[in-house]
Amino acid sequence: MTIFFSGQDYKYELEGICKLFFPLKRFSHCYDKILLPNDEDYIITRLKKHSKTTLLWVRIKVGIIIKSAHTIVKNDNTDYLNECERVLSTLLYSVLSEVTAIKPSWGILTGVRPVSILQKQRANGKTDEEITSFFKEKYLVSDDKLDLSFMTANTQSKLLEDTIKNSYSLYISIPFCVSRCSYCSFVSHAIDRPNATDKIDEYIDLLCIEIKETANLARGLKLTLDTIYIGGGTPTALSAENLQRITDAITQNFDVPSAREYTIEAGRADTITREKLEVIKNSGAKRISVNPQTFNDAVLQEIGRKHTAKQAEDCYLLAKEMGIDCINMDFIAGLPTDTFESFKHTIDKAIELAPTNITLHTLSIKRSADLFTADGIEEYAKSNITAKMTEYAQKRLIKAGYLPYYLYRQKNTIGNLENVGYAMPGYESLYNVYIMDEMQTILACGAGGVTKLVGNGEKPIERIFNFKYHFEYITRFDEILDRKARVNIFYDKGL
């Protein structure tokens, strides 16, 4: 499909809008004279400036349907160029909605953190009524998504009020898993592959050194440890002994009891054993994740998870029986072959099990490309099924007493939807809020870890990247330690 840009070059924004409606379509871009292709679908976007006003115009051909619309913007607008871009986007969105009968619920809002936008507007003195009309009228956001954003912002602002000055979170990355799920976007290597199995001991040796060095850095800078998070990959893909080595390194180097939160992601049911849960419990960690993704066995098989729904349920019950109370369960809306009825069963079942936290993701299109055919995904997007799933989950979870407390959007999710963390009041994960809002320094260890340095708000956030893959981490470990020295420079500058 060709997109014509006439009189403007709002390529990024306008193509983003087109992708909401045609998720896997390849677009070609034309800035020259508009020569309409024979029998091919096209989208024309046009800006024509006159002396006092500017004409914005859109024309779309999809199959035998041709639709167009136009509007006028005054040239004396103080933010003329941005306003033209926004208005042209809304025009394009409206015509595409008419042609495809799809109405993405976040409208033309493409930002990944709508709640941050909302919080900033509140901080700038805007009333909730003004914010509502800003999102609804200027960005065509639906009532449902606005409600969700306000609820999330309200839960979150209470948590952010309690942020400790000069504090940090410690993140430990375990870039291994037992096998690869078809939608996985994390840095994770199947642990049974030769290039991973042989390297695990060495990886953990070095990780323990990095943990020690990081503790020294934090101590030297008098930073206060606030939360600890071991993620990945899947930390429980490691043996109980190896997991113990890591938790021991943390206990020996950090004041674990002083941390307000300590989480270890367990994740996949086929990695969780009583022995590993013992290690977690004895480490002082109070929160874990057991991630079923769906309670439908056929869907689990489809996405390459090598466990059943029953196994996930059993792991959850085992963890509870062992006294781990704060448990998160992850689910994904929009998985291939999942139906609305089956998803509804998944959410109902989750509520019946009553974990303290439930996180609902929507499948990203990048991953979907491997899982659906191009036509299949367009049909899927048209059926609006993922939107119905998230809507159902939102209503059911809130009714059951869960509240949304963090929300983010990835680019290219089906229906341009969101990922939301829900929790029973008092069980929200501080780490998840801090990482989303870039409110606190995160000192990261391990392959794929990203240290994020956050100062007093007057200076840009600085990131230090560790090597992404475990083999590079091992062979270039000295560089990792050298890079960490930048933490000192950041704080020493008093920034």
Point out which residues bind ligand SF4 (CB under 6 A): 177, 180-181, 184, 186, 188, 232-234, 267-268
Q: Is 109 left (phi over 0), alpha (psi -120 to 50) or beta?
A: beta
Name the minimum Å distance from CB 180 to ligand SF4.
5
Name the minimum Å distance from CB 272 to ligand SF4.
11
74/180 with CB nearer ligand SF4: 180
Name the minimum Å distance from CB 305 to ligand SF4.
7
Q: How far apart are CA 331 and CA 300, in angstroms?
A: 11
Which strands sit side by side in the sheet containing 28-30, from one edge to the other?
Answer: 28-30, 2-6, 42-49, 53-62, 65-74
Helices 477-492 and 200-220 cross at an angle (nearest 10°) of 20
Name the minimum Å distance from CB 184 to ligand SF4.
3
188/359 with CB nearer ligand SF4: 188
108/312 with CB nearer ligand SF4: 312
128/192 with CB nearer ligand SF4: 192
Q: How far apart are CA 490 and CA 472, in angstroms?
A: 25
Report residue 151 CA to chain centroid gap.
Answer: 18
15/297 with CB nearer ligand SF4: 297
Name the minimum Å distance from CB 132 to ligand SF4.
36
Q: How far apart are CA 302 and CA 336, in angstroms?
A: 7
Name the minimum Å distance from CB 238 to ligand SF4.
12
159/187 with CB nearer ligand SF4: 187
146/269 with CB nearer ligand SF4: 269
What secondary structure does DSSP assign to 442-475, as a single string? EEEESTT-EEEE--SSSS--EEEEPPSSHHHHHH
Specify the DSSP class assigned to residue 164: P
Q: How far apart are CA 163 and CA 5, in angstroms?
A: 46
177/272 with CB nearer ligand SF4: 177
104/292 with CB nearer ligand SF4: 292
Which of 160, 155, 293 has the alpha carbon at shortest distance from 234?
A: 293
Specify the DSSP class assigned to residue 293: B
Name the minimum Å distance from CB 232 to ligand SF4.
6
Specify the DSSP class assigned to residue 12: H
Which of 188, 172, 295 has the alpha carbon at shortest distance from 242?
A: 172
Name the minimum Å distance from CB 25 to ligand SF4.
27
186/392 with CB nearer ligand SF4: 186
Name the minimum Å distance from CB 53 to ligand SF4.
52
**Six token digits for residue 230:** 């071991």
Name the minimum Å distance from CB 181 to ligand SF4.
3
Three-state SS across 96-142?
A: HHHHHCCCCCCCCCCCCCHHHHHHHHHHCCCCHHHHHHHHHHHHCCC
Query: How many CB atoms are located within 10 Å of the residue 390 CB?
Result: 27
**Six token digits for residue 412:** 């290219």
Report residue 492 CA to chain centroid gap.
Answer: 32
